[in-house]
Every structure is written in structure tokens, then in C-alpha cells.
Structure 1
Amino acid sequence: MRFCDLTEKEVINICDCKCLGNVHDLDIDECDGRIRALIVPGPGKWFGCFCREFELFIPWCKIVRIGPDIILVDIDEKEAKHKV
């Protein structure tokens, strides 16, 4: 699977069935090259576009399933938030 394939999939939290958005970036371990987390941008302040306050870091171990259209994750959204 390529990175561009991941960016086209919606990330859904199975805890509350909420759509978290699409994958924006990856956090990769520099030593072994493994993906540590998916990064999903938080909502924007103005019209949902600009000045994002936070990003969601979703650890790879919290991914339940990667399907053809969606990525299912099991995560506490409050713990996943990181300031930009």
C-alpha cells in the first residue's frame, strides 16, 4: 500500500463512530523505518480550513482494520490530540 492510498481513506473511531478525517502525514521511526502513527489534521478555525489548533496522532497499534475505503481505529480522541 502506498501513502497516497492511505490519504484517500477516511479514519473512523469505533468508540463513537465519529469520522476523524483523512490521513495527512505519518510519524516514522528513524531507526527502524516503521510507521509509529498516522497523523490526521484537526478541524480548522475558519470555515474548517485554516489555523488548525491540533492534530490527532493515532498510534499504529490502535488501528483495528484498514479496509478499501476506511481505516478503523480504537482511540481516545482526547489522548490523541497534539498541539500544532
Structure 2
Amino acid sequence: MISTSDLRQKEVINIVDGRRLGFISDIEVNLEKGKIDALIVPGPGKFLGIFGKDHDYIITWSEIRKIGMDVILVELNDVIVTREEQNISKEEK
């Protein structure tokens, strides 16, 4: 059994590209079914989950591949690309 406070202490990593997404800021729970629907991780550029213009990562339960001792491995194919990464790829062309 795992508690929500235990989940918040684990770093979320996308296995598709190896990107460290951060730590869980919120959890969506389906009270009728008593199940976790999604984990919310602040998007890039956010500070303390408040400041920043980018969107949060909403990771559905079906996208979670493994919950380990220190990390949560997820499979997100549609990840948010930061503005900094967009600028770097434009400069390379």
C-alpha cells in the first residue's frame, strides 16, 4: 500500500525520452470508484506550482508503467516541449 504523501516524494520520469518531469503536485481521485484517475506534475517553467505560463502534465493512471522506491516511470508520447527547446532546435536548422 502507498500513501499520497509517499507518491509526492517520488520523481516522475518519462520512459519515452528519459525526461525528468518533476514531482507530483496534485492527484485526481475518482471518489465514486475509490481510484486515482491522474497525477498532476507542474509543467516546465512553473515555480512552486504557481508561476509560469506552461501547462501541467496530467498523467493518467494508464500511462504509469512502474512505481519504484524513488521514481515513478510513465509513458507520455505527447510531452510538452519548452520554449527554450523550441528555440534551440530552430537555431540548429
Q: Same fold (TM over 0.5)?
A: yes
Q: Which runs of 4+ in 1 moved over 3 A?
A: none
Quick one: distance in 1 between partners of 2:53 and 2:68? 27
Q: TM (normalized to structure 2)?
A: 0.73
Identity fraction in percent = 43
Instruction: Indicate how the Cα distance of structure 1 residues 52 and 8 shifts in structure 2: closer, same or farther if over 3 A, else same.
Output: farther
1:31 is matched by which residue type in structure 2?
Answer: E
Larger radius of gyration: 2
Name the residue aligned to 1:33: 34
Q: TM (normalized to structure 1)?
A: 0.80
Q: CA deviation at 1:31?
A: 1.5
Unaligned runs of 5+ in 2: 81-93
Deviation digits for residues 31-54 of structure 1, max 9, x if unmatched?
Answer: 21210111101123xxx5123431
Q: How many residues align?
A: 75
Name the residue aligned to 1:70: 71
- Structure holding more helix per residue: 2
Quick one: distance in 1 between partners of 2:71 and 2:52? 26
- Structure holding more strand per residue: 1
Unaligned runs of 5+ in 1: 79-84
Taking only aligned residues, the RMSD between alpha carbons, in angstroms, comes to 1.4
